[in-house]
Structure 1
Amino acid sequence: MRVGIVAPNYYPAETGNAVTVRRIESELRLLGCEVQVFPIDRLSGERLQEAVKEFQPQLLHAFHAYHGGRVAYALSKQLSIPYLITLTGTDVYQALCDQRGLEMHGALRGAARLVAFHGCVKKRLGEHLHSLEERTVLIRQGVELPNDFTPVASAEGKGKFTFLLPAGLRPVKNVMFPLASLAELHARHPQLRLEIAGPVLDTAYAAEVMEALESYPFARYLGVVPHDCMGALYRRVDVVLNTSLTEGGMANTVLEASAYAKPLLVADIEGNRSIVKDGVNGLVYHGAAEFKAKAEHLLTDAHLRERLGKNGRDLVREQCCPEKEGQAYYSLYQEILAQA
């Protein structure tokens, strides 16, 4: 089976979309698929069309309905091959709600199938385009599990307590949100640190972040951490944050932190609630006051951190198997091709 993947943000490799695409790409190859990724941030127009024609895929798999879906829709009409779209978050939670929504309708309606990571995304799509709900299937995100679960010394063991916010620098990730609250906690707990890791995806927003960090000496931006180095980073921190305004289901960083048995403190949004149960495998906050209170609870209660981390690790081991994710896509491709 030859599968062409239409991928936005395939570079840098540390973005959430890139991590997802590369994981699925790898699993499909293990299942015997011939896969070629067409990164639309590197290829466009005639070059993209020529590259796809040369590969001759049997179907196209696009990620993000606006950025990837519209390209797959156009290629599908030119080459007379079916395509599917995996909904990744800002396509449903932002683009579908603004002026880009009408541009997406054709791509969404033309897809043989749509894939959502969680029922909350499928439901949100159905609120906008009810007829598409029955063609939307759920495939849970997978996560690569570390080979060794043995804990290593965290920052706390070195006299520091570190919150990690792994996120690309763009407005939807809301990375400046925790600064003021953690500054208040830092006054009472001087061992507190905040580290932000991720690529610059919006230069204007990144400039605002860098300027803000100058006023908070306990916080620092690590820059881009290669994905194969993230495990070491997760191991040495104490709590992992997600402060996003929206997520398309299960954020890779939330799943990865759970795989390393790290307690989570996450924003009260649908995407985070799809994987984090408050008080079970993480803490969910609504607003700055609750964020600060729960951050302090995590900072001062080692037993809570251990329990949340263990529950999170157990959950992803049971429910987020990348092999099952790859097999689910492979079976869906077979179904689409059988009906083509």
Structure 2
Amino acid sequence: MNILLISHLQKGSGNLHTIERIRTYLSDVHYKCTLTSPEEFSDEGDFKSYVKANSIKLIIGLHAFRSGKLLQDAKVNYILIIGGTDVNEDYRNQDKMTVMTQSVLSSRKIIVFSNGLRQKVQELWPEIPQNKIIEIKQGVQTCPSKFSLAGYIQKHHSDVYTTDMAICICVGSIRPVKNPLYLVEEFSKLHERRQNIIYVICGQVVDEEYGKSFRTKIDSLPGVIFIPGLPLTDAHAAIQQSFAYINCSNSEGMALAILEAMTLRVPVIVRDIDGNKDIVEHGVNGFVFSNPKQCIEHVEQLLLDKLLRDNTVQGASEYVQREHSVDSERNKYCDVVKSCVE
């Protein structure tokens, strides 16, 4: 049976890694899966022609607006996966909300990554039956390469390289919603006090206008380094070699990189937003901050207290193993698909 998977396919993004995992799960049980992007189609007519010509029997779309604008009038059963920015940001735009409402109401099933996203969907569309919404937590797979983060810094930023560097890393696309500049001034001040503390921001620039102002700001701050994107396995290696993983987004659905850092036994320090608090319990499996100064306080706390660091890392590892199993994710997606094609 032919299944079409639709997602924004930005290189290095969490959405891409998620939809690729789902494709693998379904291909392994002999569904014929095709992965494409909403940007591949000029309009809804072009999309409908593709679906008909390729005998697509089921569609899985990630993101209620980006994929939803093609799916809202689809004549084929489809499953809609809530991405995060759709229900956290896009709903404020009335035109986008109209599209999302149609796509959500017409879907066969709606998949969310967390209870927090389930609640958000129910707030926005209270008429949706509860049994139509299915929670499937992200499964986590890591595969660090032999990439050397210290070697990269020594080669490209020798002015800040030391043999005892403590690197705090933030991995994510460079765009306003990820707010990569949120902590840079405080980390630069910390670097002035502690020369071995380096803040690395790693990600692809996806908003060129924002990227220009981002680069200008980064270039002016000692101790802050920008790496313009890495392959997934190198990104995993960079996280694994870091002292702490930082998330400073304005909003998140479920940040896969936080879960990857937990799996790689790196402490996570995350911004106080709903998507992050769905997975990080302060002081148990990570740390939550409400402002830049709090973030720096948590970094310095970890520098001084090895037992706290070890206990938090262990708590995070146990949490991921318990709640974010790849086997569980695989089984749930296969069950949902089966229920939609029977």
Normalising by structure 2, report the TM-score. Answer: 0.90
- Pairwise CA RMSD of aligned residues? 2.2
Partner residue in 1 for 2:177: 172
Contact 2:187–2:224 at 8 Å: present in 1 too?
A: no
Q: Does 1:97 align with 2:92?
A: yes
Q: How far 1:145 moved relative to its partner? A: 4.0
Partner residue in 1 for 2:216: 211
Partner residue in 1 for 2:192: 187
Partner residue in 2 for 1:141: 138
Distance 2:297 2:144 in 1: 34
Partner residue in 2 for 1:324: 328
SS in 1 for 2:205: coil
Q: Does 1:7 align with 2:7?
A: yes
Question: Structure 2, unaligned stretches of length 5 or more?
Answer: 154-160
Is 289-298 or 175-184 further displaced after alignment? 289-298
Distance 1:244 1:41 in 2: 25
Q: How far 1:34 moved relative to its partner? A: 1.3
Contact 1:242–1:265 at 8 Å: present in 2 too?
A: yes
For these two proteins, the number of residue pairs brought into alignment is 328
Structure 2 letter corresponding to 1:105: T
Contact 1:82–1:336 at 8 Å: present in 2 too?
A: yes
Normalising by structure 1, report the TM-score. Answer: 0.90
Is 195-204 or 23-32 further displaced after alignment? 23-32
Q: Does 1:274 align with 2:270?
A: no
Distance 1:302 1:210 in 2: 34
Contact 1:115–1:137 at 8 Å: present in 2 too?
A: yes
Deviations 1:57-114 (A, max 9, x none): 211110000001221223x2xxx31111100101001111222212221111111111
* Percent of matched pairs sharing the same residue: 23
Distance 2:129 2:299 in 1: 38
Distance 1:3 1:323 in 2: 21
Structure 1 letter corresponding to 2:117: V
Contact 2:259–2:320 at 8 Å: present in 1 too?
A: yes
Partner residue in 1 for 2:156: none
Distance 1:181 1:309 in 2: 24
Question: Structure 1, unaligned stretches of length 5 or more?
Answer: none
Q: How far 1:237 moved relative to its partner? A: 0.9
Distance 1:61 1:335 in 2: 13
Structure 1 letter corresponding to 2:314: K
Deviations 1:140-163 (A, max 9, x none): 111114599xxx999999311100
Contact 2:203–2:227 at 8 Å: present in 1 too?
A: yes
Match of 2:292 among 288, 291, 305: 288
Q: Does 1:239 align with 2:234?
A: no
Structure 1 letter corresponding to 2:186: S
Contact 2:25–2:334 at 8 Å: present in 1 too?
A: no
Structure 2 letter corresponding to 1:226: P
Partner residue in 2 for 1:229: 234
Distance 1:55 1:308 in 2: 49
Partner residue in 2 for 1:87: 82
Partner residue in 1 for 2:110: 114
Match of 1:33 among 16, 31, 34: 31
